[in-house]
Amino acid sequence: METTRNIEVAGPARRIESTSRIYLLLGRFFSYPDGRFYGTTKDPRIQEDLRSLVDGLPFDVKFEDIPSPSVPQDEFESEYINSFDITPPCPLYEFHYRSGELTRREILEELLCFYGHFDVKLSETEKDYPDHLVAELEFMAFLAMKEADAGERGTDPDPYRRAQRDFLERHLGRWVDRLDARIRKVTRERFYRGASFLLREFVKSHLLHLREQGSAESIVPPGLGGDCAEREASP
């Protein structure tokens, strides 16, 4: 979360970079909370930094400060495990919120197709399923940063913009509302309720912005086939 320090907002590329950095922060919010992370969440400057990032976005987001954890570090870690990790009431996997729409195999295969299309591969040290929330958030951060880099180099950023829109429409944007509803129902910790609210509002606003900007053409074909689904992938 130190990546939010010394923020400067200027120009379209920097605004898109703010989009990428918020996706990364959201991924950190829903990763296992080690001691360093817990200490950062207790620093009041994090709210100032986060608000600066939100103010620097190329679109408006309904934003509320995320409260610091309400319990000591050991209880905060237990809250994460009990809520999200071990037979949790709020699993952080897309499949659990779309089981009536697609099989898990179909979800994983399409995610692998998205990741493989951009040569993004799973971490060898932190193995997890491609439909984990953090994996999807980090992939969106990657695409947004690619869009910003293309704009700064003077090359066409549209393929990355369309990929973000497609990914939100087909995956992340399809289940964060359901995750947020589950978190609000079963999680007492105010930090995670606040982080979930930002996740929901940020994804919704970003998708609306991308739809207003982009063409109707998709960057990733809707049909899966060939060796696309066999590629290894992740953030």
Indicate the average pLDDT of the chain. 87
pLDDT of residue 126: 65
pLDDT-based confidence at residue 3 (cuts at 50, 70, 90)? very low
pLDDT of residue 218: 66
pLDDT of residue 86: 87
Q: pTM of the predicted model, to two decimals?
A: 0.88
Residue tagged 């929901």 (tokens): 200
Does residue 210 surpass a pLDDT of 90?
yes
| Nearest alpha-carbon partner for 19 in 53, 65, 62 | 53
Main-chain dihedrals φ then ψ at residue 233, nearest 5 degrees:
-160, 160
pLDDT digits (tens, 9 = 90+) for 61-107: 999 999 999 999 999 999 999 999 988 999 999 999 998 899 999 99
165 burial (CB, 10 Å; 0-12 / 13-18 / 19+) is buried
pLDDT of residue 121: 85
| Nearest alpha-carbon partner for 16 in 136, 118, 195, 140 | 140
pLDDT digits (tens, 9 = 90+) for 126-143: 668 999 999 999 999 999
pLDDT of residue 220: 56
| CA 135 to each of CA 42, 49, 129: distance values in angstroms, whole numbers, following the listed order | 25, 23, 8
> What count of residues does the chain have?
235
pLDDT of residue 113: 94
What domains can be seen in the chain, in order of their start residue? Answer: 2-230 (1.10.3480.10)
The gap between the terminal CA atoms of the chain, to the nearest Å, is 17
* Mean pLDDT value of segment 189-193: 97
